[in-house]
Chain A
Amino acid sequence: MLTGLCALICSLPSFGVLGGDVSSVEVDRVHANASLRVSQGQNYTVHELRSATGTVVREYASASGKVFAVAWRGPFLPDMKQLLGSYFEEFQKAAQAQNRRGGHDPLIIQQPGLVVELGGHMRSFAGRAYLPDEMPRDVQNGEIR
C-alpha cells in the first residue's frame, strides 16, 4: 500500500512522456501504478496504460521511438504534469490565458507546436495532447483518441 501511495503522491522529476523517448512510458506506468498493453498502428505503436483509478492513457510513439501524442479517458484526469512533461508549463500558461464567458467548457489549447484538448465533466474526462510537428507522415489527428 505504501508503494501505491508513493506512486501517486511522491514528486518525481519531470521525465515528460509527450515529446520524450518511448522508454519514458515505463516511468508513467510506474507513476500511475498502471497495467500496460502495447499495440501496433500503421506508423506508430500505441502503449495503453490502465491506471488503478480506472483512467486509461494511450501514448503514441513513432518508429524512431518518440512519443508524439497522448490521449486519456476515464473517471479522473491523469497527472497532466507527468504526462505532458516539458510541455506542461506551456499548457498551464495557455489554459490560464483562455478568454472565457463562464461555463464548464472544454479546454482547447492550440499553440504552434502543441495541441491540448480536454473535455468531459465531473466523473468522466477525456482528452488528448499532440505535437503537430512530430506526427509521423500519414497519421491523421483523428487517430489520436
Chain B
Amino acid sequence: MWAMALIALAGCSMGCGGGSSHKNSLNPAAISASNVQPVVVNSGPAGNYANGLFTSITICVPSSSNCQTIDGVLVDTGSFGLRLLSSAGGGTLTLSLPHQTGSNGGSVGECALFVSGFTWGSVNTADVNIAGEHASNVPVQIIDPTFATVPSSCKNTGVPENDTLQSLGANGILGVGPFAEDCGLACAQTGSSNPGMYYNCISGSCQIAAVAIRQQVQNPVALFSSDNNGVMIQLPALTGAAPGLSGSMIFGIGTQSNNTVGLAEVFPVNSSGEFDTTFKGQSYPAFVDSGSNAFFFLDSGITGLSTCASNSGFYCPTSTQKLSAVTSSGGPNQTINFSVGNADTLFSNRANFVFENLGGPNPGTFDWGLPFFFGRTVFTAIDARSTPAGIGPFWAY
C-alpha cells in the first residue's frame, strides 16, 4: 500500500490523471516523513463513490499490539472524529474494542448526523495509528445497525440511516475538520439543551445521555502526541475526469519542514465552522469539506445552472460553465475560479470516479467540496490550537 502510493505519487508528478500542478508537486523527501499519509480519490470500497477521498488507518485495542488496519476510510474535513463501519454493517472492522461506559453503567451510543444521513452505533475506545503518528485511548464511533434499537429522536431526523457499506460507501470516516470533538458543550449537558447525539444504552434500549467533551468522539489528530494542531491535504490538479488520483495528508501545521503554511492565505473559521463566500455580489455562509463530493452551492435561480434529469442532486448545464466566487473571513479574501460540467454526462463514463467540475445545488450556502482540493494545498487548523500562522480554527490555502 505504502509502496504503491509512492509509485502513484511519483507518477503524478509527471502528469497522471490528466495533468498536475507544478506548484503542488511534492518534495520526495517529504513523502517518507513520519507525518505523511497517502490518500487516494477513487470509487471506494463500495465501488461507486464519486470524488471520495480515502485513506487507511490502523487501530488497536488500547495499550496492546492487538491491531487491525482498515482501508477505504473517507477523509472528511467537514466532520470531527473517527467512525468505523462494523462487520455487522458490512465493514471490514473485526477487532473488538472496549465499549465506553455510560454514567448508568450501560454502553454509550451515538447518533451522528451528517446532512445526507446519520450513522448509529456505539462509542468505543481505540489507539489510533496513522503514518508515524499515534493517539491513545481515542473515543471512536463503531457504526453498527445491530448495536441497539435506533432511538426515535435519531429516526426523527428523517434522513437515511447510513449504517451499511452500500449506504456509507466507505469502511469508515476520518473527521479531521477544525474542531477536536464532534459535539461540544451541548452534549455534556443534561436537560433540554442536550441535542440527543449521545445515549446510555442497556439491553438494547437507549436514553439520551450527557457525555463529557473529552469522552465524545474525538478528531484523532487533536490527540496525537505531536503534529496535533491540524492537517494539510495536498492533491494534484486534474483536468476533466479520471479513474483515480493520489495525494497526501500531512499532519501538523508549521510543525515540520514539510507542512509550512508559506504563502497560503489564512481564513479564520467561526464557531459554526464556517466563513463567507461571495457569488455575484452576494455573500453566503460557506465551508471547505473534503467529504462533500462536489461544489455544492446556491440554487438554479441564482447560478443559472439547471439540475440533472437523472442525478437531481447535481447540476447539468448544457456546456461546462466557468464561474468564480470570493472566499473571505472579514479580512483577507481570495478569488476561486472553478467550473461546473454536466453531471449526467460525467457519470455516463463508468470508468471515471474523479471529477474536476462536479457541482450541485445547496440553497443559501457554499460548500467547497473535494474538487476544491484538486491542485491546492489546503490546511485545516483545529480550534484553539496554535500554529505559526495563528490560532485555529482556520483554513489556509
Contacts and interface: CB of A to CB of B under 8 A. Distances in A.
Interface of A: 1, 4-5, 7-9, 11, 32-33, 51-55, 75-77, 79-82, 84, 88, 91-92, 95-96, 98-108, 110, 117-126, 128, 142, 145
B294 A105 contact: yes
Given A75-B186, A118-B115, A121-B115, A103 B301 contact: no
Interface size class of B (residues with CB under 8 A): 35 or more
B119 to A, nearest CB: 11
B193 interface: yes
Interface of B is mostly: loop
Given A80-B156, A101-B347, A124-B273, A52 B293 contact: no
B156 A79 contact: yes
A128 B112 CA distance: 21
Interface in B96-116: 112-116
B111 to A, nearest CB: 10
Given A79-B153, A103-B51, A125 B115 contact: yes
Given A100-B313, A103-B293, A84 B194 contact: no
Contacts of B367: 106, 119, 121
A102 B80 CA distance: 18
A9 B116 contact: no
Contact of B159 (A33, A52, A103, A107): A107
Contacts of B247: none
Contacts of B252: none
Interface in B21-61: 44, 46, 48-52
B169 interface: yes
Interface of B: 44, 46, 48-52, 76, 78-80, 112-116, 152-153, 155-160, 169-170, 175, 177, 179, 182-184, 186, 190-197, 207-208, 272-274, 285, 287, 289, 291-294, 296, 301, 310-313, 347, 360-365, 367, 369-370
Contacts of A104: 76, 78-79, 114-116, 289, 291-292
Given A105-B293, A121-B79, A123-B80, A52 B190 contact: no
A77 B115 CA distance: 9
Contacts of B365: 106, 119-120, 126
B140 to A, nearest CB: 15
A102 B272 contact: no
Nearest to B190: A1
A82 B326 CA distance: 38
